[in-house]
Amino acid sequence: MSETLTGCPTGTQTWTEKEIRQQPGCWRASLKNIAQQRAELDAFLAPLLADPALKIVLTGAGTSAFIGDIIAPWLSRHTGKNFVAVPTTDLVTNPVDYLHETQPTLLISFARSGNSPESVAAVDLANQCVRQCHHLIITCNEAGALYQNAVNDDRAWPLLMPAETHDRGFAMTSSISTMMASCLAVFAPETINSRSFDDVARRCEAIIASLGDFSDGVFGDSPWQRVVYLGSGGLQGAARECSLKVLELTAGKLAAFYDSPTGFRHGPKSLVNDKTLVVVFVSSHPYTRRYDLDLLAELRRDKQAMRVVAISATADAEVTAGPHIILPAARAFIDVEQAFCFLMYAQVFALTESLKAGITPDTPSASGTVNRVVKGVVIHPWTPEEA
């Protein structure tokens, strides 16, 4: 018998809840700001993008790094440019693996605070390692080191998000989604702009409204001990971010994993047991979708997981054969737009699970071993001889 899942998480509003709810408004404000800066932005970017040898590196730490995982595949295909996603945490430890002296590079740094040691060091290393290096700094904090350093650097363009996206909660919510939407609008303005993206904002507003006061389970209420998010292509990046949200907001009490539907069969599927929730982000691309639906049907046939939930824009027979969520009605979305919708459900789920576990979601790490702005990182000096 088919089951449609609706409903959702908490009565006492936290910063995390407020920042989840404010996202559509933040996207509208940021894309409007980008439209106003369009001429100046294009004047900075056009000479760089005209070089066919340009390498465009999307970077950040933690959640900020996952922005690149989500949008780089689509941006590469859509623009024909060489977009790659490399976390700052990899750049600072292995700079010569990713930064090449003679290859012109545009480093796009995503940062909520702009003060993470690796974020600042990645910019410095890029300038050291690459002869022709420019920077687009996409950040939520005007007072952060990244933004301040870029203001007076003619090789850099600082793009500031609305002030409220400098999330006060521990986990990044409105910060990631607004930086993600903004980068898409910068490089694909004919597809992602303030007019077209209003459809995404309105659909996500409908999702948030459908989840009420955030007091019930997004995917049902069961004593799961593991959650797995699955998505194909850039949606695997979204799955990775969603799994991190669960780990962060439950302080690791709920184990979370991610993979692609096709990759999941190659070993990771062995983690599924009767205490596991599996969430499948179903692609909007007809070809990719077939693979997602194949695994969805397989997982349900296996009957090993406690629950297998599909989130989809359309009600295919394979989707509605078990627990599912159908996105609110809207025009046809491409996957990079649909990712924003999937993030809404996952953010609310992580918040709900945090509260169920008796954790304060704004400050989930009671021990202080994990911090809102990472601590304890020693940045070691790099010299060309070490290459």
pLDDT by 10-residue block (mean), the chain, 387 residues? 39 85 98 97 98 98 96 98 97 95 98 92 95 98 97 96 96 97 98 98 98 90 95 98 96 96 97 98 98 98 98 97 98 98 97 92 69 67 70
Q: Residue 2 has what pLDDT?
A: 35
For β-strands 105-111 and 55-59, DSSP reports them as parallel
SS (H, E, C) the chain: CCEECCCCCCCCCCHHHHHHHCHHHHHHHHHHHHHHCHHHHHHHHHHHHCCCCCEEEEECCCHHHHHHHHHHHHHHHHHCCEEEECCHHHHCCCHHHHCCCCCCEEEEEEECCCCCHHHHHHHHHHHHHCCCEEEEEEECCCCCHHHHHHHCCCCEEEEECCHHHCCCCCCCCHHHHHHHHHHHHHHCCCCCCCCCHHHHHHHHHHHHHHCCCCCCCECECCCCCEEEEECCCHHHHHHHHHHHHHHHHCCCCCEEEEECHHHHCCCHHHHCCCCEEEEEECCCCHHHHHHHHHHHHHHHHHCCCCEEEEEECCCCHHHHCCEEEECCCCCCCCHHHHHHHHHHHHHHHHHHHHHHCCCCCCCCCCCCCCCCCCCCCCCCCCCHHHC
Q: Do domains 3-12+200-356 and 15-197 have the same CATH topology?
A: yes
Q: First vs last Cα of the chain: how many Å apart?
A: 61
> Nearest-CA neighbor of 104 among 130, 72, 68, 136?
130
Distance CA 16, CA 170 (A): 8
Residue with tokens 């292995």: 94
Domain at 15-197, CATH from 3.20.20.10, 3.40.50.10490, 3.40.50.720, 3.30.70.2740: 3.40.50.10490
**Phi-psi region at 150: left, alpha or beta (left = phi > 0; alpha = psi -120 to 50):** alpha
**Domain topology for 3-12+200-356:** Rossmann fold (3.40.50)
Q: From the centroid of its chain, how far is CA 233? A: 13
User: What is the pTM assigned to this prediction?
Assistant: 0.93
Task: Return the bridge partners of 325, or none.
Answer: 311
Q: In the Cβ-directed half-sphere of 348, how many Cα atoms lie within 13 Å?
A: 30
The answer to whether 179 and 119 have CB atoms below 8 angstroms apart is no
Q: Where are the domains of the chain?
A: 3-12+200-356, 15-197
* CB count in 10 Å sphere of residue 254: 21
Q: From the centroid of its chain, how far is CA 198? A: 19
Q: Residue 13 has what pLDDT?
A: 80
Q: Residue 1 has what pLDDT?
A: 30
Burial class (CB within 10 angstroms; exposed 0-12, middle 13-18, buried 19+) of 317: exposed
Which residue type does 355 have? L
Task: Return the bridge partners of 310, or none.
Answer: 280, 324
The answer to whether 345 and 207 have CB atoms below 8 angstroms apart is yes
Q: Residue 11 has what pLDDT?
A: 45
The answer to whether 364 and 354 have CB atoms below 8 angstroms apart is yes
Q: Residue 4 has what pLDDT?
A: 41
Q: Using alpha carbons only, what angle is made at residue 317 by residues 315 and 319, rounded to the nearest 5 degrees?
A: 60
Q: Residue 321 has what pLDDT?
A: 98
Distance CA 121, CA 341 (A): 33
